[in-house]
Amino acid sequence: MPATVAPKLTKSCWPIRLLSTQSGLRGKEPVAGKLHLADHAIAQDETGRPIRLTCAGGQTVPVLSARSTGFVAYFDPKQCLACPLHTAGQCRAYPGQA
C-alpha cells in the first residue's frame, strides 16, 4: 500500500481486507445513476503512480502528469460519442477529457 495512505485508515481497513489506493486522479462527487471515477480501472506502476485508466465502456488511455499537481487522462472523443454509456447519459466525462 502506498505510504501516502493515512495509517489510521490503513489499520481500520485490515479487518475487512479493504485496500485503499491513492490514485492522484480527481473526480466529481458521485451522482446516483452516473459513472464515477471509482467505476474506472486504474493501473499503477510499482511506486503506486497511475499509468493507465480504463473506463467502464472499455476505453484504455494513458495517465499523464497534470500541469501543477495530480494526474489527467484524455479519452478519444470519437469513442466516447459512440459509447452506449455516454449516449445513455451515464458517463460524466466530457469527450476528450477524464
Rounded-to-integer distance, Cα 28 and Cα 35, Å: 10
Task: Say how far residue 53 (Cα) sits from the centre of its chain.
Answer: 6
Residue 33 pLDDT:
83
- In this model, does residue 4 exceed pLDDT 80? no
Rounded-to-integer distance, Cα 84 and Cα 59, Å: 12
Residue 57 pLDDT:
92
Task: Say how far residue 68 (Cα) sits from the centre of its chain.
Answer: 18
Tens-place pLDDT, residues 7-59:
555 556 556 655 555 555 555 677 788 888 788 899 999 988 899 999 999 99
- In this model, does residue 76 exceed pLDDT 60? yes
Quote the pTM value. Answer: 0.65
Q: Which residues contact 56 (CB under 8 A, 6 or more apart)?
A: 35, 39, 40, 85, 91
Residue 60 pLDDT:
94
